[in-house]
Chains A and B, each alone.
Chain A
Amino acid sequence: MWLLNSSIGKKVVMSLTGLFLILFLTFHMSMNLVAIFSAEGYNAVCEFLGANWYALAGTAVIAAGAVLHILFALWLTYINRRARGKDRYKVSERPKEVEWASQNMLVLGIIVVIGIALHLYQFWFKMQFNEITGILPEVNPHDGYALIAETLGNPIMAVIYLVWFAAIWFHLTHGFWSAIQTLGWNNKIWLSRWKCISNIYTTILCLGFAVVAIYFGFIA
């Protein structure tokens, strides 16, 4: 299977799962914004995406995408480190054309994963998971608004979330166009366009997330 045993194949898996996760983030961000305008509206969304079969199926697919993305990242990184050889450069300088993020995707990815773990514990665990298992009877799984207000109401937590979004921003500014490049949809004209689109899209996405954190942490 070429997706598993060729370097480009593995990268295609990374790209497709990555793009899929960006799509997921876009929906997630749009949903979050609702919380700023209307608590009821937000809770309605939470209920809609509760323990319903389609929401559960969706969650499973997203989880699979994320797991694949992470596993392939680790696999590829292992191969790449081996390809680098045993001796490392004593002096190494990053050329100015090279984005910092592009050479630190794994580190950024790890920060993102830690953030996800925290986020899942603080929200998903108390909402969808709680709804299915009833593990935390004192928490109303459909009152997402209250959860946000409580969690992000703590300015320290809001700052932690903002740092997380920054890591996501760095990860995606490279990841977005890089995925397109890996899929081969690139040429001399589109290279700079994709990079530009990638920056704009990621910035809008992360701003959307950040606005909610700032609103609940420092304004509401």
Chain B
Amino acid sequence: MEKNINITLRIWRQKGPKEKGAFKEYSLQNISTESSFLEMLDVLNEQLINNGEDPVVFDHDCREGICGMCSLYINGHPHGPDEDVTTCQLHMRKFNDGDVITVEPWRSAGFPVIRDLMVDRSAFDKIMQAGGYISVNTGGVPDANAIPIPKANADEAMDAATCIGCGACVAACKNGSAMLFVSAKVSQLALLPQGRIEAARRAKAMLSKMDELGFGNCTNTGACEAECPKNISITNIARLNREFIKAKLKD
């Protein structure tokens, strides 16, 4: 049931990418447990603005768990302590009266901090540009039902395709690896006949871009899968490995 709680926030404040950051504490009274975590931060920012201070900067947009814009490392977990949700869907009912909540940005060399809790995830776009597509132009394609696709494959491709590109996998990984993200895309397209044709090229191009951008490598801890708000499976990583090794052996 709805109730109000008092909490203390310990939030990472950092002016810019080059500047030194530090934690700052804020206390908030009467936060409804029905509000979302970001709505709680809205309340904090309203309070800060009214006190003439700079509001806390954080990324967010759709607030329904699909755009992948929100991030935040809350009490030791990307997207906070709840399961299978993004930060915007995390609700304050997961916290208790008197809690101290530590909020940090994604920390990874691949995601430099822009300000406070906002990080630069453009590396993901660069990885996608390296080969995360099927090379077809608009128009001149066959009828949608021309190539039947086994339901199991289509469903598995869909599961991989649910990745929202939020970067929680990188944030959760002690190696700062983007393998779950890369593998989800490689997997989705490798499972479909349309994407099969370029599968080898895609796996090589996306992986080498990931390496080049300074992400770590996968040691199969599974932290990414555990923290992924969309439950992307690490078996996708196995498929990426397979595609990559096969491609390299053929070269």
State the A residues within 8 Å of B (CB): 2, 6-12, 76, 79-80, 82-99, 102-103, 105, 174, 177-178, 181-188, 191
Contact across chains for B223 and A98 when beta carbons are under 8 A apart: yes
Closest to A101 in B: B221
Contact across chains for A80 and B104 when beta carbons are under 8 A apart: no
Given the known inter-chain contacts A6-B244, A83-B110, please indicate yes or no for A97 contacting B225, CB distance below 8 A.
yes
| CA of A84 to CA of B216, assembled, Å | 7
Query: Which residues of chain B are within 8 angstroms of A99 by Cβ–Cβ distance?
Result: 221-222
Which residues of chain B from 189 to 240 have a CB within 8 Å of any chain A CB?
Answer: 207-208, 210-211, 214-223, 225-227, 233-235, 237-240
Contact across chains for B223 and A6 when beta carbons are under 8 A apart: no
Choose from B176, B207, B223, B239 the contact partner of A84 (Cβ within 8 Å): B176
Query: Which residues of chain B are within 8 angstroms of A11 by Cβ–Cβ distance?
Result: 217-219, 241
Contact across chains for A8 and B241 when beta carbons are under 8 A apart: yes
B1 to chain A, nearest CB (A): 28
A-B contact pairs, 25 of them (CB 8 A): A6-B207, A9-B248, A76-B217, A82-B109, A83-B215, A84-B174, A85-B108, A89-B73, A89-B107, A90-B23, A91-B76, A94-B223, A97-B222, A98-B226, A103-B174, A103-B223, A174-B220, A177-B220, A181-B241, A183-B245, A184-B240, A184-B241, A187-B238, A187-B239, A191-B235
Contact across chains for A95 and B75 when beta carbons are under 8 A apart: no
Choose from A7, A87, A98, A183 the contact partner of B210 (Cβ within 8 Å): A7
Which residues of chain B from 52 to 109 have a CB within 8 Å of any chain A CB?
Answer: 73, 75-77, 102, 104, 107-109
The 7 closest A-B pairs by CB, nearest first: A184-B242, A93-B76, A83-B216, A186-B238, A7-B217, A83-B176, A95-B226
Query: Which residues of chain B are within 8 angstroms of A10 by Cβ–Cβ distance?
Result: 217
Query: Which residues of chain A are within 8 angstroms of B240 by Cβ–Cβ distance?
Result: 8, 184
Closest to A1 in B: B248
| CA of A88 to CA of B23, assembled, Å | 13
Query: Which residues of chain B are within 8 angstroms of A2 by Cβ–Cβ distance?
Result: 248, 251
Query: Which residues of chain B are within 8 angstroms of A12 by Cβ–Cβ distance?
Result: 245
Choose from B12, B23, B176, B227 the contact partner of A80 (Cβ within 8 Å): B176
Query: Which residues of chain B are within 8 angstroms of A84 by Cβ–Cβ distance?
Result: 107-109, 174-176, 216
Closest to A96 in B: B226
Contact across chains for B238 and A85 when beta carbons are under 8 A apart: no
Contact across chains for A178 and B107 when beta carbons are under 8 A apart: no
B153 to chain A, nearest CB (A): 12
A82 to chain B, nearest CB (A): 6
| CA of A8 to CA of B242, assembled, Å | 10
Choose from B174, B207, B225 the contact partner of A7 (Cβ within 8 Å): B207
Given the known inter-chain contacts A7-B211, A80-B219, A84-B107, please indicate yes or no for A90 contacting B176, CB distance below 8 A.
no
Interface string of B35-60 (1 = CB under 8 A from A): 00000000000000000000000000
Closest to B208 in A: A6
Query: Which residues of chain A are within 8 angstroms of B251 by Cβ–Cβ distance?
Result: 2
Contact across chains for A185 and B238 when beta carbons are under 8 A apart: yes
B222 to chain A, nearest CB (A): 5
Not counting A85-B109, A98-B222, a sample of 5 additional A-B residue pairs whose C-beta atoms are within 8 angstroms of each other reads A12-B245, A90-B10, A90-B23, A182-B241, A184-B241
Query: Which residues of chain A are within 8 angstroms of B243 by Cβ–Cβ distance?
Result: 184
- Answer yes or no: B177 CB below 8 A from chain A CBs: yes
